[in-house]
Amino acid sequence: MGRYIVRRILWGVLLLIIVAALMFLFFRILPTGDPAKLRAGRTASAKLLTEIRHDLGLDKSTLTQFGDFMEGIFFRFELGYSYYSSAPVWELIKDRLPATISLVVGGSILWLVSGVLVGIISAVRRRTFIDRASMGTALVLVSAPEYWLGLIMLFLFAQDIGKFPIFPGAGSYVPISTDPWKWFTSLIMPWMVVAASNAAIYARLMRSSLIDVMGEDYIRTARAKGLRERRVVVRHGVRSAINPIVTIFGLDIGVLLGSAILVETVFNIPGIGRLNYDAITHSDFPIVQGTVLAAALFIVVANIVVDIAYAYLDPRVRYS
């Protein structure tokens, strides 16, 4: 197991190096504009532009810039500086990270619990009204875009503009360190939006996986031994059927940590997704590079955690 984890970490580092190299290449090839003009403004003098290019290292050769870029990321752990605020990109991401983590962790717990429970109930009660109603609802939720669902939630339940003012509206996010209760209430609707489509996918996947597992020989053997049906389903069926859920759960968390743009924009949550959106609209490409690398890091870590979790959830899996 130890060797396997080391190999996976090394492959993850290699993947991050490739992503960083591609990001550097894309922003040098694509017509993104002159970084010096973006920082100094359109009315800057030629002397000021020359000084800014020197400060940014843009007067060096492309190969030297690439070496400095990679050294800054992997040896000094620096992601550059914003064109507009001149603030370190890592500091900007670190300040926004708690809001994104709050959104993702709460939403992921909600969609995992609800999706797995609905999937189990549908599999056990298949072809009943409960099964058809839950799977029909899941199909609707999967088809609903997050931004549309978020706007509908605000229109119906936001305290400022909602028809049924129950929850705080957009822009009401409060850090957990400031007021835990307001933090919780401000994220209820964003959590529900994040969880809606994912829970629907998990419910359908859990249902189909559990139905397949319940037809296996060892399930019939467990029943023949006189075990209670609940224990057969939970201890034997669910443990084997949940492996696909573990796979996509780890990947979904990693992806959402780096790409929660729509939900954070709709609810005006100051997270990484909102930071990336603002950076794109202002052509602040160091921030875009930093958020993309952060997203790649989240996905790599999620993959490693999922692979390790497999060995504990499924006794048939062995790593050497």
- 179-194 pLDDT per residue, tens: 899 899 989 999 988 8
Mean pLDDT of 203-228: 82
What pLDDT shows up at residue 271? 87
What pLDDT shows up at residue 230? 78
What pLDDT shows up at residue 290? 85
What pLDDT shows up at residue 81? 79
- Higher pLDDT: 181 or 75? It is 181
What pLDDT shows up at residue 43? 65
Residue 10 predicted with pLDDT over 60: yes
Confidence of residue 156 (pLDDT cuts 50, 70, 90): confident
Model pTM?
0.78
Confidence of residue 42 (pLDDT cuts 50, 70, 90): low
Mean pLDDT of 217-227: 79
What pLDDT shows up at residue 30? 64
Are 56 and 38 within 8 A, CB to CB?
no
Phi-psi region of 107 (alpha: psi -120 to 50; beta: other; left: phi over 0): alpha
What pLDDT shows up at residue 122? 87
- How far, in Å, CA of 115 to CA of 195, rounded? 9
Lowest pLDDT segment from 48-57, 69-78, 84-93, 187-196: 48-57
Confidence of residue 299 (pLDDT cuts 50, 70, 90): confident
Radius of gyration of the chain (CA): 24
Mean pLDDT of 47-70: 75
Mean pLDDT of 147-162: 85
Confidence of residue 311 (pLDDT cuts 50, 70, 90): low
Give the closest residue to 303 by CA, choosing from 61, 67, 26, 12.
12
Mean pLDDT of 35-43: 65
Give the closest residue to 294 by CA, choosing from 262, 250, 264, 254.
254
Q: Report whether CATH 3.40.50.300 matches the domain 90-313.
A: no
Lowest pLDDT segment from 3-17, 247-261, 262-276: 247-261
What pLDDT shows up at residue 306? 76
Question: Which one-letter amino acid corresponds to residue 140?
Answer: V
Residue 317 predicted with pLDDT over 60: no
Torsion of CA 265, 270, 274, 280, to 10 degrees: 130
What pLDDT shows up at residue 268? 86
Domain definitions of the chain by residue range? 2-74, 90-313
Confidence of residue 50 (pLDDT cuts 50, 70, 90): confident
Chain-wide mean pLDDT for the chain? 80
Confidence of residue 46 (pLDDT cuts 50, 70, 90): confident
What pLDDT shows up at residue 129? 86
What pLDDT shows up at residue 242? 79
Lowest pLDDT segment from 96-100, 146-150, 228-232, 316-320: 316-320
